Structure 1
């Protein structure tokens, strides 16, 4: 897809010349693998399969139901029919002679009428050629009068009375009727029509015809004299003649194209000098005169009116005119040009897909052209994907073929899509169906951007304050995001926790700064960061210089050099940061205090005191509640396990009755103590645990000879209910 014009209204060339590199089928099959890597070939848009001819195309038509496209071309003379829902060629059919023009008589392709260049009229059906008949003279155009079921064929040359003739072929009866005799020069030998032979140069002829089907069904015939004759099909009489104004410098001009407007009160004429004129049937003075610019005969005139009344009320009045060089679309009210298309090859015929922005052409090139104008209408239902493609191209600034590639989304910048509830919210619901300012599309309407801005400002006068607050917030978020990302991009090799702490502090200051902007309502550049210090922190000047510590070159080695790495397990770091201290054993003072508490307690039994010494203590000074003590383990009746046991070293001396007052006195006494046995050493401020393998003998209980009972377990009752069992 390429942009064929860079005016205010873009036109996308979907298919045709200069859109994709043409390759023959056999070469495509041969280079199938290599073409997968060719971006130009893989990114092409093939709208319709085989939408081309070997030499040129002469005419193209779209069926009323919008599902079929029939086109004729050469060489060899053939007919192509495409099924649009499948985007493929349905069939191709060859003819004996070149096709001048044709008509679709049915709502689909099954019935068509073809005017051939060898004076034959052929009737084609879905199965092929149904019937052909011959006319006396060469035909120039072909129209169909639905009210009388007659095919009208304007012809070249004059009859015996010196008048041009329009042949009437009644399709209901199946025979020719008396034709319409149109004045093309008379019997005077000095006139053009009398002295020229049929088919010769400057031969008088009826060039074109038009029927007002939607209104009064008046027939109009354009002649080589530059006149337009109006005939009534009911009485078969001429009701008027319109003489086009002649220019002395241009000379005589022939009428080459005619088209009635839907109301039937306006007629558009195009002559052989490239001049288009709009007439009101109630006046001989033209309403508007437009020059196509190239001086070639006008080939097609199309009123771009929607078929639905609702859309026609809201759409602008535009008209399409074309010659063999250019297609122009302009406003029929004032004649202002809207957009234009100039293909690389000559144009033979233009067809508009109704209620859409799609144009199909038959031209002198091998490939038939298809153009898409988004602002004229949406894509047809059979190629609805074009809307998404065009929108993506418009929003892609890197696409060289996109419209407005320097600014994204420029195609739809002048319109705003609104739903019906949104229109009512803006108090614009009364404009629906009454003005052309609202364009219906899908479930909403396209509204001009200026109208939308004015309506939104009127409905919400405080909108500027909201927009200002929103813009301030967006600016703050943008600056904050850029700063945070900039700091995070710095390569930090060492002291990562310190860098994260600095980033967190800067982000906190930024949030406070943003809150102050929103509370005071002042501009962003008027706020100073130093005015908003963080709670519990010093001023920003003391924390870091301008740009932050991470961006300061004086502290660069702090985060790059391993020699400056902070050891968080060192005693100095833990002294400065108490929260990072690791749990450790009991100090000498804590251990002595624990021993004093043990000495003050009553010594109930030797087993209990021994259990107190072997009780495990955690590193943080708390007892293990989940562990069963050795004393309770013995009382439960289990035998002592042999093997290495963990013993907590403590002083074997008896606790003093009177405690020293100073810490220094306690330390001096600890140094004077003799070294404990079993190679145990006491370190001040720490606790040492050793494993001393020893065998423990089970104590024999003293027996009472008088009573004969055992008292090894005084605190446990006998499980037997017989009290005389051991007596």
Structure 2
């Protein structure tokens, strides 16, 4: 699928030939055999099956229900009907003469009327040609008046009264009615009553505002536009002064604006209430305008489509500013638009018919809805190629790829402005040699971009509230741990709990007994300090050998268990700790020789108890004890000590 960017609008060619002339059959078969291993050729899209004619196509229309596509072409003259929901050709029907134009009478394909190049008018049903008749002179256009069930055929030449004619074929009663007489000028040198010479005038085109006032407009070869009322069968107005022949007409949906195109490529927009054109625009190439169409984009902007045989242009209705354009390689004969979508179809002088998709114009039709996903994927790709098979490189890029030695020595690099054009194959090979992991790097880069895009939706920073800021921060941190955090979820986004963070009456008193009972590990004084003090306290108490315990709560708050400022520690000396002296002999024999009572040791490894040895000593023995902040005086009585369970003076 080929993509082109015209300004800010992308146009995707989803069907159509890439060459102006079709290749011969033998050359086409050889080319297909050579492309059998081409991945791009194997993955190509064929939007509609058999969307082509053997030589060329003449006219194309889409049914009102949007389910059927009818087109005519040659050679041999035939009619193709595609069922769009199946993306395939429903049937093909041959005719005896070339088709000039046609109209679909029913909401689907079952009834249609065709104007042939040999002055015949054929009525077709879903089975075959139902009826055919002939008009006196060659027809140039065909429209259908649904209110009166009449087919109107503008024709060439003069009638018996010297006027141009628009034939009326009433399909309800099955006969021709009195024709509309349109002024197309006189034919000098030809007697009255004859059809005229080669240069005689003609009524070339017709248009009708069938959804509003139902006026019918006829464009002539002398540059005039006549308006007729089908109810009174009379002329109501005329606009003259057009440069060249009027070859295209179209009413907008309101019926008040009329677009006209001439044989010189000049387009004018008229308000029916004024003979002066509101806007004048030149198609630019000097060819006759073949199609005019009022359109509305997906953003409800009013646009006008104009087409000659070389280019299709879409421009703004208010100021004529160009919006986008499509320029195929073959001549265009007719253009159809799938209403309320971005799909354009064409009949042209090439073998294959064309289809273009413009996402900015509208979504893909329901029968080709897969185009939306394909276009989104293609839009994500970064395209830096100026031409299809060449890559533009600057000198630093050539040096990075080790291709700078080819500058001026070979035709592989073509200088252009401040850089060079290199073949795409050469660029791909050089990039692969310079960086064998380029594909993996690109894949990792895209993965990282997707991850970063998903992370953009995560909660950043703190949400400032009037009351209970600490509670709001706590709820935010909990939401950040979720897989898909949402600020609107939970109490913060619920309107029922809005007053908790706005009204002072709902402020939480963190010094109250109820709050401390529900949050026993929360230290209010510590939480009121700044973040730097938190870090210092955490470092201090984590390194303190006999310090208090510092723990990290689930809400990332530092909670310190308080440490008493002054703690009194009692240390009692015994005979086993003699203040640096050697340990006394406590064997059973030596103890038996001494008087006094000795407490038997239970072992130093007993859990929950303490081993104390009592040895008779002199009264002058000083009892070692350390008291903070001041040591108590030594007691001289034989009273029992509650702290060390020791009897003195024994």
> Does the alignment reach a TM-score above 0.5?
yes
The 3-state SS of whatever aligns with 1:85 is coil
The 3-state SS of whatever aligns with 2:324 is strand
The 3-state SS of whatever aligns with 2:53 is coil
Whole-Å separation in 2 of the counterparts to 1:256 and 1:74:
23
Alignment-derived partner of residue 218 in structure 1: 215
Q: Is 1:115 the counterpart of 2:101 in the alignment?
A: no
Q: Are 2:187 and 2:200, in contact at CA under 8 Å, matched by a contact in 1?
A: no
Alignment-derived partner of residue 45 in structure 2: 45
Q: Are 1:56 and 1:363, in contact at CA under 8 Å, matched by a contact in 2?
A: yes
Whole-Å separation in 1 of the counterparts to 2:296 and 2:271:
18
Q: Could you report, residue by residue, the CA deviation over 1:479-526 in whole angstroms, capped at 9, with x for unpaired residues?
A: xxxxxxxxxxxxxxxxxxxxxxxxxxxxxxxxxxxxxxx989xxxxxx
Structure 1 unaligned blocks of 5 or more: 247-252, 407-459, 463-472, 474-517, 521-531, 537-727
The 3-state SS of whatever aligns with 2:376 is helix
Structure 1 residues 400 and 44: alpha-carbon distance in aligned structure 2, compared to 1, 3 A threshold: farther
Structure 1 residues 172 and 335: alpha-carbon distance in aligned structure 2, compared to 1, 3 A threshold: same
Q: Are 2:20 and 2:329, in contact at CA under 8 Å, matched by a contact in 1?
A: no
Whole-Å separation in 1 of the counterparts to 2:16 and 2:79:
18
Q: Which has the larger radius of gyration?
A: 1
Question: Taking structure 2 as the reference length, what is the TM-score of the superposition?
Answer: 0.57
Q: Is 1:75 the counterpart of 2:75 in the alignment?
A: yes
Alignment-derived partner of residue 65 in structure 2: 65
- Following superposition, the deviation at residue 372 of structure 1 comes to 0.5
- Following superposition, the deviation at residue 396 of structure 1 comes to 1.7
Q: Could you report, residue by residue, the CA deviation over 1:508-557 in whole angstroms, capped at 9, with x for unpaired residues?
A: xxxxxxxxxx989xxxxxxxxxxx9xx98xxxxxxxxxxxxxxxxxxxxx
Whole-Å separation in 1 of the counterparts to 2:139 and 2:281:
28
Q: Is 1:130 the counterpart of 2:115 in the alignment?
A: no
Structure 1 residues 302 and 62: alpha-carbon distance in aligned structure 2, compared to 1, 3 A threshold: same
Whole-Å separation in 1 of the counterparts to 2:531 and 2:121:
84
Q: Is 1:319 the counterpart of 2:316 in the alignment?
A: no
Whole-Å separation in 1 of the counterparts to 2:333 and 2:103:
15
Q: Is 1:240 the counterpart of 2:237 in the alignment?
A: yes
Whole-Å separation in 1 of the counterparts to 2:70 and 2:330:
21
Whole-Å separation in 2 of the counterparts to 1:20 and 1:224:
31
The 3-state SS of whatever aligns with 1:304 is strand
- Following superposition, the deviation at residue 197 of structure 1 comes to 5.8
- Following superposition, the deviation at residue 37 of structure 1 comes to 2.4
- Following superposition, the deviation at residue 21 of structure 1 comes to 12
Whole-Å separation in 1 of the counterparts to 2:337 and 2:216:
23
Alignment-derived partner of residue 7 in structure 1: 7
Q: Are 1:186 and 1:194, in contact at CA under 8 Å, matched by a contact in 2?
A: no
The 3-state SS of whatever aligns with 2:296 is coil
Alignment-derived partner of residue 337 in structure 2: 352
Q: Is 1:378 the counterpart of 2:359 in the alignment?
A: no
Q: Could you report, residue by residue, the CA deviation over 1:190-237 in whole angstroms, capped at 9, with x for unpaired residues?
A: 9xx979965x64320000001110111001100001000111101101
Q: Could you report, residue by residue, the CA deviation over 1:440-499 in whole angstroms, capped at 9, with x for unpaired residues?
A: xxxxxxxxxxxxxxxxxxxx999xxxxxxxxxx9xxxxxxxxxxxxxxxxxxxxxxxxxx
Alignment-derived partner of residue 522 in structure 2: none
Q: Is 1:228 the counterpart of 2:225 in the alignment?
A: yes
Q: Are 2:68 and 2:109, in contact at CA under 8 Å, matched by a contact in 1?
A: yes
The 3-state SS of whatever aligns with 1:86 is coil
Alignment-derived partner of residue 392 in structure 1: 377
Q: Could you report, residue by residue, the CA deviation over 1:622-678 in whole angstroms, capped at 9, with x for unpaired residues?
A: xxxxxxxxxxxxxxxxxxxxxxxxxxxxxxxxxxxxxxxxxxxxxxxxxxxxxxxxx
Q: Are 2:269 and 2:279, in contact at CA under 8 Å, matched by a contact in 1?
A: yes
Whole-Å separation in 2 of the counterparts to 1:261 and 1:296:
23
Structure 1 residues 20 and 162: alpha-carbon distance in aligned structure 2, compared to 1, 3 A threshold: closer
The 3-state SS of whatever aligns with 1:286 is coil
Q: Could you report, residue by residue, the CA deviation over 1:220-259 in whole angstroms, capped at 9, with x for unpaired residues?
A: 100001000111101101111111355xxxxxx0100011
- Following superposition, the deviation at residue 291 of structure 1 comes to 0.3
- Following superposition, the deviation at residue 333 of structure 1 comes to 0.6
Alignment-derived partner of residue 205 in structure 1: 202
Whole-Å separation in 1 of the counterparts to 2:251 and 2:20:
38
- Following superposition, the deviation at residue 40 of structure 1 comes to 3.1
Q: Is 1:162 the counterpart of 2:162 in the alignment?
A: yes
Q: Which structure 2 residues correspond to residues 215-614 of structure 1 after superposition, within 5 A?
A: 215-246=212-243, 253-305=244-296, 315-397=300-382
Q: Could you report, residue by residue, the CA deviation over 1:85-137 in whole angstroms, capped at 9, with x for unpaired residues?
A: 11001111111010000000001111010000000000111111111000000
Whole-Å separation in 1 of the counterparts to 2:328 and 2:192:
39
The 3-state SS of whatever aligns with 1:103 is strand
Q: Which structure 2 residues correspond to residues 684-703 of structure 1 after superposition, within 5 A?
A: none
Whole-Å separation in 2 of the counterparts to 1:119 and 1:8:
46
Structure 1 residues 325 and 35: alpha-carbon distance in aligned structure 2, compared to 1, 3 A threshold: closer
The 3-state SS of whatever aligns with 1:152 is strand
The 3-state SS of whatever aligns with 1:388 is helix
Question: Taking structure 1 as the reference length, what is the TM-score of the superposition?
Answer: 0.52
Whole-Å separation in 1 of the counterparts to 2:142 and 2:332:
19
Q: Are 1:21 and 1:41, in contact at CA under 8 Å, matched by a contact in 2?
A: no
- Following superposition, the deviation at residue 31 of structure 1 comes to 9.8
- Following superposition, the deviation at residue 8 of structure 1 comes to 1.3
Structure 1 residues 34 and 223: alpha-carbon distance in aligned structure 2, compared to 1, 3 A threshold: closer
Whole-Å separation in 2 of the counterparts to 1:165 and 1:45:
47
The 3-state SS of whatever aligns with 2:173 is coil
Structure 1 residues 32 and 257: alpha-carbon distance in aligned structure 2, compared to 1, 3 A threshold: closer
Alignment-derived partner of residue 619 in structure 1: none
Q: Are 2:48 and 2:89, in contact at CA under 8 Å, matched by a contact in 1?
A: yes
Q: Is 1:102 the counterpart of 2:102 in the alignment?
A: yes
Alignment-derived partner of residue 150 in structure 1: 150
Q: Which structure 2 residues correspond to residues 12-27 of structure 1 after superposition, within 5 A?
A: 12-18=12-18
Q: Are 1:224 and 1:255, in contact at CA under 8 Å, matched by a contact in 2?
A: yes
- Following superposition, the deviation at residue 67 of structure 1 comes to 0.7
The 3-state SS of whatever aligns with 2:373 is helix
Whole-Å separation in 2 of the counterparts to 1:2 and 1:279:
37
In the comparison of the two structures, how many residue pairs are matched?
406
Whole-Å separation in 2 of the counterparts to 1:223 and 1:21:
34
Structure 1 residues 262 and 235: alpha-carbon distance in aligned structure 2, compared to 1, 3 A threshold: same
Q: Could you report, residue by residue, the CA deviation over 1:350-405 in whole angstroms, capped at 9, with x for unpaired residues?
A: 000001000000001001000000000000000000000011011122696999x9
- Following superposition, the deviation at residue 33 of structure 1 comes to 8.9
Alignment-derived partner of residue 639 in structure 1: none
Whole-Å separation in 2 of the counterparts to 1:50 and 1:381:
20
- Following superposition, the deviation at residue 265 of structure 1 comes to 1.1
> Cα RMSD (Å) of the superposition?
3.8
Q: Are 2:161 and 2:193, in contact at CA under 8 Å, matched by a contact in 1?
A: no
Whole-Å separation in 1 of the counterparts to 2:464 and 2:333:
56
